[in-house]
Structure 1
Amino acid sequence: MEYLKKTEFTGCHQGMRYRLEQTQDPENPEGGKKLMVTVWPEPFNYFNTPEEKKKRAYFSFDEDGVVDAVGWMNDRLFEDKKIWEEAPSHWDTYQM
């Protein structure tokens, strides 16, 4: 949690890239912090990937929220398996 208070955490697994970061609660901007998780297909980083290719979810900004976020990412990994498997074959089709 201390790491996420300072910066975002990014990574990739089997064609799915992900990013966890602290953000304001979108439903209560003046309230507490939330953990925002974003997943998207390879090959590009967060900033160079079109928004329509990203999926997001929000969780509580605590240890339980991290556990829930990992569960959500695992669900995306298996439910959207075809997207992640096909990601490398689309590298040259992205428009920059």
Structure 2
Amino acid sequence: MIDLHGQAGLPYINRGVYTGSYEGMRYRLRKKEEEDKKTLEAVIYPEPYCFEKTPEDQKEAREFSFTDEGFQQAIAWLNEQYEARQERWTEAKNASWV
């Protein structure tokens, strides 16, 4: 289970991009600004490559409000995506180091 309490939060993400991985699933959280609106973008993608080297068709993104509640929703979404696609992430994990 992904638990980012104490590791990342909105103050960190407000200044930069947070990336991590869990059992074959990589993820990225960042602040996204368009006009006067700030959102929290969460992206998931399979191992082994970094965000920039992973093909776009292998990434899935979702936006949340840039609030503590939105941050909690983003973490919940990451965990839901891991559970829903666990086979995909396990395959990525096993294939990434071969």
TM-score by length of 2: 0.84
- Number of residue-to-residue matches in the alignment: 88
Larger Rg: 1
Q: Percentage identity across aligned positions?
A: 33
* 5+ long unaligned stretches in structure 1: none
* 5+ long unaligned stretches in structure 2: 1-9
> 1:59 aligns to what?
64
Residue 84 (str. 1) matches residue 93 (str. 2): no
SS at match of 2:31: strand
Q: Please show how residues 37-48 of structure 1 align to structure 2 within 5 Å.
A: 37-48=42-53
> 1:17 aligns to what?
26
How far the C-alpha of 1:32 sits from its partner, in A, is 1.2
TM-score by length of 1: 0.86
SS at match of 1:76: helix
The two structures, once aligned, show a CA RMSD in angstroms of: 1.3
- Provide runs of 4+ in structure 1 moved above 6 Å: none
